[in-house]
Structure 1
Amino acid sequence: MHPTVEMVTQRIIERSRGTRQDYLDCMAVLKAQSPHRGVLSCGNLAHGFAACSSEDKNTLKFMNKANVAIVSAYNDMLSAHQPYERFPDLIREAAHGMGSVAQFAGGTPAMCDGVTQGQPGMELSLFSRDVIAMSTAVAMSHNMFDATVLLGICDKIVPGLLIGSLSFGYLPTILIPAGPMPSGLPNKEKQRIRQLYAEGKVGKGELLEAEIKSYHSPGTCTFYGTANSNQLLVEVMGLHLPGAAFVNPNTPLRDQLTRAATEQVVRLSRPNGGELGLGDMVDEKSIVNALVALLVTGGSTNHTIHWIAIARAAGIVIDWNDYADLSAAVPSMTRIYPNGQADVNAFHDAGGTPFLIRELLAGGYLHEDVETVMGRGLEQYTRMPTLKNGTLVWSPVATETLDPEVLSSASEPFAPDGGMKVLDGNLGRGVIKVSAVAKEHHRVEAPAVVFNDQNDLAAAFEAGDLDKDCVVVVRFQGPKANGMPELHKLTPYLGVVQDRGYHVALVTDGRMSGASGKVPAAIHVYPEAANGGLLAKVQDGDVVCVDAEAGTLTLLVSEQDLAARQPAEVDLSASHSGLGREMFGWLRRVASNPEEGASFFWNHDA
């Protein structure tokens, strides 16, 4: 093993010793009671399979056959999740072929951040993760099941499904992806049209046409944002079938992978002799593997929040220092938009996740000795699935990348590090991703331009107020203020300012999208402005230094002057009602800070 990977892993094991043991003890008690439907009364059991066919009822009367829970985030408004409409029938058919049963246990909410970017609904987005976790727990609470398949892809949905399922971690669990849509308008062209629109050089009609050509069919959006980062990380953790993440939807191969995942989770169930559950597979080593995969691919910054919460659900405590130390040690091996111009289809065609895993194993960057849904050992995830005469087979991935502009070897990476840094300073603590940021922009020291509402930035841009070296501070965007929305809407404006030759950076207590790119952005900064953070005292013209090289985030104002200032008072009531936001007030009040997962499950201060 690479010494830094080993060091971080051991540090996490030591830090988590008590909480991890508590979790495992709890799972052991629950596992000893399974199959749970065996403890149900006759009335309970009759209710549990009342709607089943007579054949399924006969199967479920006995305890020697598996009942597979289907938990799905299907809706047909999300392009990524629309293909899931067909999956329950495929899963039931595959379970029957194994002499078992599959029941649709429950659905979870699933919102599309692409629809809600810059809209009030985005202020529910982060909290939807923990709502999804609770919805998953409700679905599983009937105690009817021996195994679980999870149907979900996008931003908060996979983390929420995992967090909820880890409360039932004694059950074997497989996540079944649906795959990305085929490639549409090239990302470079989409980015160009967006910036032209921001500059007023093209109209809304031309912008809409470009967006329609980009997001054009069922399947996941093809850029490497949070949704596709989810898929890659889950596969590296061994919770998918090998090579399953980026197979396009509604294809024979995708359908066969769905059937095979069902068959495999049945094999893993206790009625079929299985002994390991999700909680055994999500351990310290698999979490480190996920972080390494995130960093070597320049994945979504949202996972500096979400994977902390997932780990905590399994009793594992990680923090931003773990990300930073790993990032400094691992190579950058992909160029997928926004860290390049290719999309995830090109990445998959170049060798995809199986090639990446093989290279990282060879370099000592991943733990091979982990439990996966395919058995012990990550080496079997270096295979790519194909159909031969209609039969699903796995073959060793190519020994060389099939597109060195998209996917590199570990020995000849695009960059020597992962590009994710922790920033600390008097302004607070945050993270920055510089894998797509040019070297000359890694340090920006300039006067602040302060906004309390992201919607005010467009007007300032159009007025020319940003045509200068500046650090744009967008505050009161944290969990307690308004639910910590993504601020991806700001990206085209800031990109134009940078392209005009100015040095510009963003500082915010909010989030950026998984598609954040070339503009340096200090994000997730805490303490947030609404919770006593110094961000609330920053004034226009104050000099702010964002230094990704030194890892500092500094407001260059004397302590004496700062002590004399009163924090800005902002009326946040408009973000606290309307479009359902009034129902999330208690979540805003009790959410933990971003480095603790921005969760209301594990708030150390509550």
Structure 2
Amino acid sequence: MTNLAPAVDRVTDRIIERSKASRAAYLDMVRGEAGKHSDRSFLSCSNLAHGFAASGEDKGTIAAMKAVNIGIVTAFNDMLSAHQPYGRYPEQMKLFAREVGATAQVAGGVPAMCDGVTQGFDGMELSLFSRDTIALSTAVALSHAMFDGMTLLGICDKIVPGLVIGALRFGHLPAVFIPSGPMPSGISNKEKQKTRQLYAEGKVGREELLASESASYHSAGTCTFYGTANSNQMMMEMMGLHIPGSAFVPPNTPLRQSLTRAATHRVAAMTRKGDDYRPMAEVVDEKAIVNAMAGLLATGGSTNHAIHIPAMARAAGIIVDWQDLAELSAAVPLLTRVYPNGSGDVNHFHAAGGMAWVVRELLDAGLAHEDVLTVAEGGMRAYATEPTMDGDQLTWKPAPETSGDDTMLRTVANAFQPDGGMRLVEGNLGRATFKTSAVEKERWTIEAPARVFDTQEQVSAAFKAGELDKDVVVVVRFQGPRANGMPELHKLTPPLGILQDRGYKVALVTDGRMSGASGKVPAAIHVTPEALPAADGSWGPLAYLRDGDIVRVCAETGELSTSADLSGREPAPAPQAAVGMGRELFAMFRINASGAEQGGSAMLQVAGL
């Protein structure tokens, strides 16, 4: 086994030390649950009868309590292309479970919203807190204590982190995540981006734009750009929660079905009823979280995971912060360029060597932990293989020796960048994350007068009026978790990109989020503390900024600052609480939300996690 790189060793040790008390408390809770809810025998006959009343031919098996019963938590709906294939999974999984003498039941469903549909509109303000709702829904599904193991069916942005958080509170059970795979590649990403910019400039109409978008997002499966959804799938591999190589196999193929079958069989083999007990609580430990961060950095993954990783970790009693991410980023090189960081999409990435290549390179360079418990019998090294069909048999082969496309996938020795492209910037305006992997290096430092806005719509209006045709740092505040649920500000990408293409020095500073598909404009995002006052009444520095203040954003030196004297100023007026599209129902989440660096979660904050 290769020796760990010093930075990986150092960050891991620091996380373990920092998390000693909280991790011990979590594991104590899990052990207590394992003793109390080890099987269904504690349920009364009436309780048990309710639990299998509609189970048909499986009723006798469940009643006998000798066989494994698998809980299926599903995010199926047929409005989301990524989740549409899940509609048929439960019936298939019940058949697969019977093959190994087990049973399976749909424990419950969780909501799954699409940021691609809600981007720039009111519904987007529910997005981040849908993660808490999904975690709560997962807990409700598993609260019946009918299950010996759990399978989790989810892919997209907040769905996987929410499922992880909820499932970890039932960490005495083994868990396997089951993806459905990406849709086939559509039109080229360059062509799609060009049409978006032409529309933003008013040079093509809505009809042309819709035709372009429909040619890109066109069938069942995950969207093919490397945003948050596909970063989720990468992380489930790196955390050892997938059957190896599952992430990017297309839906509705024999290989995909065989992987689902293998996942069902595997979770049945990992329960306390067998001799290979692998509870989720022991799979998701400090080393698994570090592996997830290393994978994120090596692949130039979504900035949204600067929020999701701390939240998922806290659900397992593990405390990480952005300093951990920044130190790992300095040590982990960028091995991939997948759109929006490159021209090819996840299908091209998978064909070039994909996750098997990335895992092998990280392990061989000591940039990820090999000595971890995973759902695969071969440990983390098993994820350096790719699945294939040999006739009708599922098998695995080693990662390819050479990259299928070195414009997309490279070795550690020949990486695209020496670092992982996720940097911490901080100063008198707070702390923020800056994704460098898609930004040209000459744009890593921007110093210019600020234009300060409270909404995306104000930015769009200023852009259309020509007020931003100059060197400018666009500041969009009151977009944090407490203000409005921290929506992604995806509508800002085309106009800011156009300004940059016109030759201006442009940067974005915001306490909101940007999509995992955000691109070439330098951006300090997730600024914490956010502008809106915290529970103690203190306002964030962004609330005191004014138009014309000089703001400096520098990924080289890790700086986020203003030369303006903010002392003695009154904060900007706070926005009115949002009403409509159900946003008022999420007020309790906003009021209680933690900061972005702690995961932006009300649920975990109130629970003291």
TM-score range, shorter chain: over 0.9
The aligned residue for residue 79 of structure 2 is: 77
Task: Choose from 144, 147, 152 the match for 2:146.
Answer: 144
The aligned residue for residue 569 of structure 2 is: 565
The aligned residue for residue 56 of structure 1 is: 58
Provide the C-alpha distance between the structure 1 equivalents of 2:329 and 2:212, rounded to a whole number of angstroms.
35
How far residue 29 of structure 1 moved from its aligned partner, in angstroms, is: 1.3
The aligned residue for residue 245 of structure 1 is: 247
How far residue 428 of structure 1 moved from its aligned partner, in angstroms, is: 1.0
> Is 2:589–2:603's contact at 8 Å kept on the other side of the alignment?
no
> Is 1:451–1:473's contact at 8 Å kept on the other side of the alignment?
yes
Q: How does 1:89-100 map to 2 (within 5 A)?
A: 89-100=91-102
Task: Choose from 32, 36, 55 the match for 1:33.
Answer: 36
3-state secondary structure, aligned to 1:429: strand
Change in 2 beyond 3 A, CA 1:604/1:469 = farther
Provide the C-alpha distance between the structure 2 equivalents of 1:376 and 1:593, rounded to a whole number of angstroms.
38
The aligned residue for residue 414 of structure 1 is: 416
| Aligned-partner residue type, residue 45 of structure 1 | L
The aligned residue for residue 344 of structure 2 is: 342
Provide the C-alpha distance between the structure 1 equivalents of 2:463 and 2:94, rounded to a whole number of angstroms.
54
The aligned residue for residue 309 of structure 1 is: 311
3-state secondary structure, aligned to 2:276: coil
How far residue 564 of structure 1 moved from its aligned partner, in angstroms, is: 3.0
The aligned residue for residue 16 of structure 2 is: 13
3-state secondary structure, aligned to 1:525: strand
3-state secondary structure, aligned to 1:563: coil
How far residue 482 of structure 1 moved from its aligned partner, in angstroms, is: 0.6
Provide the C-alpha distance between the structure 1 equivalents of 2:186 and 2:90, rounded to a whole number of angstroms.
28
How far residue 272 of structure 1 moved from its aligned partner, in angstroms, is: 2.4
Deviation digits for residues 190-212 of structure 1, max 9, x if unmatched? 11111111111111111111000
Q: How does 1:348-363 map to 2 (within 5 A)?
A: 348-363=350-365
3-state secondary structure, aligned to 1:171: coil
| Aligned-partner residue type, residue 147 of structure 1 | G
The aligned residue for residue 554 of structure 1 is: 561
Deviation digits for residues 267-315 of structure 1, max 9, x if unmatched? 1112223322111000000100000000111100000000100000000
Let me know the Cα RMSD of the aligned residues.
Answer: 1.1
How far residue 376 of structure 1 moved from its aligned partner, in angstroms, is: 5.4
| Aligned-partner residue type, residue 13 of structure 1 | I
| Aligned-partner residue type, residue 267 of structure 1 | A
Provide the C-alpha distance between the structure 2 equivalents of 1:84 and 1:107, rounded to a whole number of angstroms.
11
Provide the C-alpha distance between the structure 2 equivalents of 1:43 and 1:602, rounded to a whole number of angstroms.
34
The aligned residue for residue 195 of structure 1 is: 197
> Is 1:66–1:272's contact at 8 Å kept on the other side of the alignment?
no
Provide the C-alpha distance between the structure 2 equivalents of 1:308 and 1:523, rounded to a whole number of angstroms.
16
> Is 1:480–1:530's contact at 8 Å kept on the other side of the alignment?
yes
> Is 2:241–2:374's contact at 8 Å kept on the other side of the alignment?
yes
The aligned residue for residue 452 of structure 1 is: 454
How far residue 406 of structure 1 moved from its aligned partner, in angstroms, is: 0.7
The aligned residue for residue 393 of structure 1 is: 395
How far residue 604 of structure 1 moved from its aligned partner, in angstroms, is: 8.2
The aligned residue for residue 260 of structure 1 is: 262
Provide the C-alpha distance between the structure 1 equivalents of 2:360 and 2:301, rounded to a whole number of angstroms.
18
Provide the C-alpha distance between the structure 1 equivalents of 2:341 and 2:253, rounded to a whole number of angstroms.
28
> Is 2:478–2:575's contact at 8 Å kept on the other side of the alignment?
no
Provide the C-alpha distance between the structure 2 equivalents of 1:490 and 1:253, rounded to a whole number of angstroms.
39
The aligned residue for residue 228 of structure 1 is: 230
The aligned residue for residue 215 of structure 1 is: 217
The aligned residue for residue 579 of structure 1 is: 581
Provide the C-alpha distance between the structure 1 equivalents of 2:441 and 2:576, rounded to a whole number of angstroms.
37
**TM-score, scaled relative to structure 1:** 0.98
Provide the C-alpha distance between the structure 2 equivalents of 1:565 and 1:17, rounded to a whole number of angstroms.
42
How far residue 588 of structure 1 moved from its aligned partner, in angstroms, is: 0.5
| Aligned-partner residue type, residue 454 of structure 1 | Q
Change in 2 beyond 3 A, CA 1:124/1:484 = same
The aligned residue for residue 500 of structure 1 is: 502
How far residue 529 of structure 1 moved from its aligned partner, in angstroms, is: 1.1
Give percent identity, aligned residues only: 59
> Is 2:72–2:90's contact at 8 Å kept on the other side of the alignment?
yes
How far residue 605 of structure 1 moved from its aligned partner, in angstroms, is: 12
Task: Choose from 120, 131, 137 the match for 1:118.
Answer: 120
Change in 2 beyond 3 A, CA 1:10/1:376 = farther
Provide the C-alpha distance between the structure 2 equivalents of 1:572 and 1:186, rounded to a whole number of angstroms.
41
Provide the C-alpha distance between the structure 2 equivalents of 1:310 and 1:339, rounded to a whole number of angstroms.
25
The aligned residue for residue 296 of structure 1 is: 298
| Aligned-partner residue type, residue 209 of structure 1 | A
Deviation digits for residues 419-446 of structure 1, max 9, x if unmatched? 1111111111111101110111100000
3-state secondary structure, aligned to 2:120: coil
The aligned residue for residue 536 of structure 2 is: none
Provide the C-alpha distance between the structure 1 equivalents of 2:162 and 2:530, rounded to a whole number of angstroms.
24
Deviation digits for residues 175-234 of structure 1, max 9, x if unmatched? 000000000011111111111111111111111110000000000000000000000011
| Aligned-partner residue type, residue 315 of structure 1 | G
Provide the C-alpha distance between the structure 2 equivalents of 1:516 and 1:536, rounded to a whole number of angstroms.
25
How far residue 399 of structure 1 moved from its aligned partner, in angstroms, is: 1.2
Unmatched segments (≥5 aa) in structure 1: none
Provide the C-alpha distance between the structure 1 equivalents of 2:431 and 2:35, rounded to a whole number of angstroms.
43
Unmatched segments (≥5 aa) in structure 2: 534-538
> Is 2:278–2:375's contact at 8 Å kept on the other side of the alignment?
no
Provide the C-alpha distance between the structure 1 equivalents of 2:95 and 2:467, rounded to a whole number of angstroms.
61
The aligned residue for residue 42 of structure 1 is: 45
Task: Choose from 539, 542, 545 the match for 2:546.
Answer: 539
Moved segments of 4+, more than 4 Å: none
Deviation digits for residues 21-74 of structure 1, max 9, x if unmatched? 111111111112343311000000000000111x31211122321000000000
| Aligned-partner residue type, residue 327 of structure 2 | D
How far residue 577 of structure 1 moved from its aligned partner, in angstroms, is: 1.0
Provide the C-alpha distance between the structure 1 equivalents of 2:385 and 2:421, rounded to a whole number of angstroms.
28
Aligned residues: 600
Provide the C-alpha distance between the structure 2 equivalents of 1:218 and 1:109, rounded to a whole number of angstroms.
18
| Aligned-partner residue type, residue 10 of structure 2 | M
> Is 1:63–1:271's contact at 8 Å kept on the other side of the alignment?
no
Deviation digits for residues 349-398 of structure 1, max 9, x if unmatched? 00100111011111110100000001352111111111111211111121
> Is 1:35–1:145's contact at 8 Å kept on the other side of the alignment?
no
Provide the C-alpha distance between the structure 2 equivalents of 1:603 and 1:227, rounded to a whole number of angstroms.
25
3-state secondary structure, aligned to 1:530: coil
The aligned residue for residue 599 of structure 2 is: 597
How far residue 115 of structure 1 moved from its aligned partner, in angstroms, is: 0.1
3-state secondary structure, aligned to 2:112: coil
Provide the C-alpha distance between the structure 1 equivalents of 2:281 and 2:189, rounded to a whole number of angstroms.
38
Provide the C-alpha distance between the structure 2 equivalents of 1:209 and 1:444, rounded to a whole number of angstroms.
36
- Identify which range, 72-81 or 529-538, moves more after superposition: 529-538
The aligned residue for residue 322 of structure 2 is: 320
Provide the C-alpha distance between the structure 2 equivalents of 1:166 and 1:603, rounded to a whole number of angstroms.
16
> Is 1:331–1:413's contact at 8 Å kept on the other side of the alignment?
yes
> Is 1:481–1:572's contact at 8 Å kept on the other side of the alignment?
no
Deviation digits for residues 59-103 of structure 1, max 9, x if unmatched? 112232100000000000000000000111111010011111000
3-state secondary structure, aligned to 2:24: helix
| Aligned-partner residue type, residue 354 of structure 1 | A
3-state secondary structure, aligned to 1:371: coil
Provide the C-alpha distance between the structure 2 equivalents of 1:185 and 1:548, rounded to a whole number of angstroms.
33
Q: How does 1:174-189 map to 2 (within 5 A)?
A: 174-189=176-191
Provide the C-alpha distance between the structure 2 equivalents of 1:397 and 1:494, rounded to a whole number of angstroms.
40
| Aligned-partner residue type, residue 316 of structure 1 | I
Provide the C-alpha distance between the structure 2 equivalents of 1:179 and 1:570, rounded to a whole number of angstroms.
42
| Aligned-partner residue type, residue 128 of structure 2 | L
The aligned residue for residue 128 of structure 1 is: 130
- Identify which range, 232-241 or 29-38, moves more after superposition: 29-38
How far residue 8 of structure 1 moved from its aligned partner, in angstroms, is: 0.4
Deviation digits for residues 464-483 of structure 1, max 9, x if unmatched? 11111000000110111111
Provide the C-alpha distance between the structure 2 equivalents of 1:119 and 1:36, rounded to a whole number of angstroms.
46
Provide the C-alpha distance between the structure 2 equivalents of 1:220 and 1:252, rounded to a whole number of angstroms.
18
> Is 1:370–1:376's contact at 8 Å kept on the other side of the alignment?
no
3-state secondary structure, aligned to 1:272: coil
> Is 1:35–1:63's contact at 8 Å kept on the other side of the alignment?
no
